Structure 1
Amino acid sequence: MTVTRRSEWPERPPPRDRGGPSTSRADEGPPRTPRDPVERARAISLRLLTGTPRTRRQLADALRERDIPDEAIDTVLDRFEEVGLIDDAAFAAAWVESRHHGRGLAGRSLARELRTKGVAAPVIDEAVARLDPEREEETARALVERRLRATRGVEPVKRLRRLVGVLARKGYAEELAVRVVREALAAEAAEAPGTTDERWRDGF
């Protein structure tokens, strides 16, 4: 009987590749580390600023909601302020101009809106101060003028109070609102004597 030596045995074929992913730890590579929080903060802030100016406080709040550490937030936002990507003073000035012209808001309402956006009090004061009293009164008169026709036929005292309420909701002081509305109603009555119920004079 012929005995086959061990060295002459055929080699065992390599295991078949079944096409599945390797489970070797060496093939998995090093464990992933969290992305640098400063880089995350920068990327998020730039995305939020695209097309929409924001205050520093708005950006900081948005970053905290995404679990960015305060240290990374301060690093990024300080740098953004240095290069002018964040400018609360410019934001406040533009906000006052836009909202007063577009919505007819008075200084008190504008200041309240800016406070909710985290703008500092001195910055708000400076921005709102650009609205001089004459301009506010002119805007108030225009608002009342636009509402006069729509309120004709309303009981006189109720009409007076409704028009004053329009101005009050936009932040105008009551004294200014009452005076402007009274003058508008008086001018309307003078244009067509005898056709306007003047019992509104008893209101306020």
Structure 2
Amino acid sequence: MARAVALRMLTGAPRSRHQLEEALARREVPEEVAGRVLDRFTEVGLVDDEEYARMLVRSRHSERGLSRRALGVELRRKGVDDETAQAALATIDGDDEERAARVLVRKRLAGTRGLEREVRVRRTLAALGRKGYAPGLVLGLVREELALEGEESDDDAWPLPED
């Protein structure tokens, strides 16, 4: 039964060992049985937390534009240990993160054209904040992008991120 449950879960999408352990525990599979099955799956390469973490970081960063901070939270939530998570997160450098943030800022600003600048800035800061980007980075990118659009820059009118 434990093998069937784990295989069924892995058929849908890759999973961390922790996720599989939790699923087996919910099915009331004895811990020692679950451990043996998952050890064997790890041995044959069906469960690989390092590859899982790298794949998750690559896909979530490129498809959803998540920041390293948000990705780290997601990896911890899925039970990936800190060392494995840090190795996977190291595949994204500061330049990659800034490029992704810039793309998101442009998208968000394009979708808010016609609104007041304060509203555009606030919505963009909020959207990227939910993806884990630092307010200072986002605000700098918003300023640059609005300048490219020809918006006048009145530094006193810019909302400051709250601590």
Aligned equivalents of 2:40, 2:16: Cα separation in 1: 14
Residues paired across the two proteins, number: 159
Aligned to 1:47: 8
Tell me which amino acid in the other structure corresponds to 2:77: T
Within 5 Å, give how 1:108-127 maps onto structure 2.
108-127=69-88
Distance 1:52 1:199, change over 3 A: same
Q: Which has the higher contact order (CA 8 A, sep 6+)?
A: 2
Which has the higher mean CA deviation after the structures are superposed, 159-168 or 121-130? 159-168
Aligned to 1:202: 157
Is 1:96 matched up with 2:51?
A: no
Is 1:176 matched up with 2:137?
A: yes
More helix by share: 2
Give 3-state SS (helix, strand or coil) of 2:46's partner.
coil
Aligned to 1:192: none
Distance 1:188 1:91, change over 3 A: same
Choose 1 or 2 for highest CA Rg.
1
**For 1:106, which of 67, 71, 92 is the aligned residue?**
67
Within 5 Å, give how 1:8-47 maps onto structure 2.
40-47=1-8
**For 2:42, which of 81, 88, 101 is the aligned residue?**
81
> TM-score normalized by structure 2?
0.91
Aligned equivalents of 1:78, 1:137: Cα separation in 2: 39
Over the matched positions of the two proteins, sequence identity in percent amounts to: 48
Q: Which runs of 5+ in 2 are unaligned?
A: none
Aligned equivalents of 2:73, 2:145: Cα separation in 1: 28
Aligned equivalents of 1:70, 1:172: Cα separation in 2: 39
Aligned to 1:16: none
Aligned equivalents of 2:41, 2:76: Cα separation in 1: 21
Q: Is the 8 A contact 1:159 1:200 kept in 2?
A: no
Aligned equivalents of 2:50, 2:97: Cα separation in 1: 21
Is 1:139 matched up with 2:94?
A: no
Aligned equivalents of 2:52, 2:61: Cα separation in 1: 14
Please report how far the alpha carbon of residue 151 of structure 1 lies from its aligned counterpart in structure 2 after TM superposition: 1.3
**For 1:57, which of 18, 34, 37 is the aligned residue?**
18
Give 3-state SS (helix, strand or coil) of 1:50's partner.
helix
Is 1:187 matched up with 2:142?
A: no
**For 1:153, which of 102, 106, 114 is the aligned residue?**
114
For residues 157-197 of structure 1, the C-alpha deviation after alignment (integer angstroms, 9 at most, x for no partner) is: 222121122211111111111111111111111xxxxxx46
What is the RMSD of the two structures over their aligned residues, measured on CA atoms? 1.5
Aligned equivalents of 2:111, 2:154: Cα separation in 1: 18
Q: Which runs of 5+ in 1 are unaligned?
A: 1-39, 190-195
